[in-house]
Amino acid sequence: MPVSKTSKGNGTIKPRQACLIGPLNSCERRRKALRIRTTVAQLQDRLPSPDHPCNGDESRYPNKIGSFTKGLPHNGLGEVDLNAYHAFIAALKTGKDFESIPLGGVVKIVNPQASYAFDLVGPDSHHLGIASPPAFSSSWEASEMAEVYWQALTRDVPFTDYDTHPLTLGAASDLTVFSDFRGPKVNGAVTTGSLFRGDTPGDIAGPYISQFLWKDIPFGATTVVQRYRTTIAGDDHMTSYEEWLRIQNGSSPNAPNVHDPISRYIRNGRDLGEYVHVDFSYQSVLSACLILLSYGKNALDPANPYFNSATQSGFSTFGAPYVLDWVARTARSALDAAWFQKFLVHRRLRPEEFGGCVHNQLTGAANYEINSELLDSQAVSETFNKFGSYLLPAAYAEGSPIHPAYPSGHACLAGAGVTVLKAFFNESFPIPHPVAASSDGLSLLPYLGSLLTIGGELNKFAANIALGRDAAGIHWRSDGIEGLKLGEAVAIGMLQDYKKTYHEDFCGFSLTRFDGTTITIG
């Protein structure tokens, strides 16, 4: 019998037994662990470095109207103090002197140094690229701004009324006219059935809201009913120029949001916007995971190595604890990837900042290169008719957070988490007993329409989380769509690295990407 060091007891020396069994001894295991770590690091190192293109707005406009400047000091037109902006850029370039950035108020810049964090599993944040966002003066940007104006105007319209309500009918008609609107269309036109939805498989099937944001959540010894606190109808902010300018300078809002005393199922854009206002980072994906785990074995991906085992079940690997860990594990890396793009590549302005430019343009206070498709749109005229200004009405009293728009952090989180769930669950499995919220959000009713599957509802769920921030007025469509893709790339890279750590006979993860293609990570 193998022995190790000796130990003393009762004056005698006894051999200490080495109880380790298995195919590898401690030294062999340590060497193999090193080989796995080295191999995956070398695989990441051999990947081609991506380009990091931007839309050119920062260099195009000396007054920086096309760039994110919220929280810095501004003049009366909402144009940034250039000395402050240059200090901001200098800190980002050098990675130093962040405490020297002049602020315009009391609100702090959110975590710019996360842009430099290294990731040791999956791709490093700087090793992933995304497309450049629309340029300030483009027809694409004009269409995205029109969409968020319409989302603000229709916040209180129940999703069940989209087919008949004058505002949603007007939104679909108006967005169809734009020459470069890139949201989903039906036969070349935006419809009330495609309005404000994502563009992935399953997004325009069934109700606007995914089943994973409506169905009860099994939560250990209790059940979470998905009725949430929301804000009252008409609770819109920053519609006066004075308040808008204060918020751009980093001041606190004059008045807080006003909350509805009754919790509700998500039934309109305002409810969805408030859900993604106060959620913690991976809350939504964790909830979806718990719902999926409650569906039992048949909802799992058949490639799970324990799916047909006669003697074993998964737990620490390929079981519920493992899937739950993955939901959280990808979240921080997804945010790192988003923050790198936000601060060190794009620095895209928020829709509320663009709304100030529209207001100053149309009131004659300034002359900016804003595409005429937006200036002549029904979205802009309807906003002025309702609020008396051309500013974008914000659902949040404080407006957007103090970090750049592109890509959306929520979208990256959802993209990564949903990709993991697709890897572990059967995308073709039908959702049992689907539901839809009543127009008042007080009850769930049976949904009797087309078949809804795990894969389709996960895609819709990801779009709900990403574009729900648009409904609040703080993000653009492309922030969400590209953010989903970036989060997906993060998760795929992490799954690839972990594929080499399993002992089970496992052929690899298969899943459908957001672009509709199927991949196997083996």
Q: State the catalytic residue, choosing from 74, 277, 410, 475.
A: 410
Q: Give the separation between CA 278 and CA 273, rounded to whole angstroms.
A: 9
Q: Give the separation between CA 240 and CA 391, rounded to whole angstroms.
A: 8
State yes or no: is 165 an active-site residue. Answer: no
**How far does the chain reach from its first CA to its final CA, in angstroms?**
40
Helix (H) / strand (E) containing 172: helix 166-177
Q: How many C-beta atoms surround the C-beta of residue 120 within 10 A? A: 11
State yes or no: is 237 an active-site residue. Answer: no
Please, which residues have CB within 8 angstroms of residue 478's CB and are 6 or more apart in sequence? 133, 134, 140, 144, 182, 406
| CA 515, chain centre distance (Å) | 16
Helix (H) / strand (E) containing 436: strand 435-437
Integer-rounded Cα Rg, in Å, for the chain is: 25
Q: Give the separation between CA 119 and CA 124, rounded to whole angstroms.
A: 5
Q: Give the separation between CA 466 and CA 200, rounded to whole angstroms.
A: 12
Helix (H, G, I), strand (E, B) or coil at 2: coil
Cα dihedral 66/67/69/74 (nearest 10):
-30
DSSP code of 22?
A: S
The Cα-based distances of 70 to 81, 123, 395, 429 in angstroms read 11, 30, 17, 45
Task: Provide DSSP, 44-92.
Answer: HHHSPPPP----SHHHH-TT-TTB--TTS-B-TTSPBPHHHHHHHHHHH
Helices (H), 376-408: 378-387
Reading the block at residue 12, the tokens are 């005698």
Q: Give the separation between CA 346 and CA 348, rounded to whole angstroms.
A: 5
Beta strands in 186-329 (DSSP E): 217-219, 222-224
- Among 109, 205, 152, which residue's Cα sits nearest to residue 453? 205
Q: Which amino acid is at 474?
A: I
Helix (H, G, I), strand (E, B) or coil at 222: strand
Q: State the catalytic residue, choosing from 74, 126, 346, 403.
A: 403
- Among 139, 132, 140, which residue's Cα sits nearest to residue 57? 132
The Cα-based distances of 39 to 42, 44, 497 in angstroms read 5, 9, 9
Q: Give the separation between CA 351 and CA 423, rounded to whole angstroms.
A: 34
Q: Which residues are catalytic?
A: 403, 410
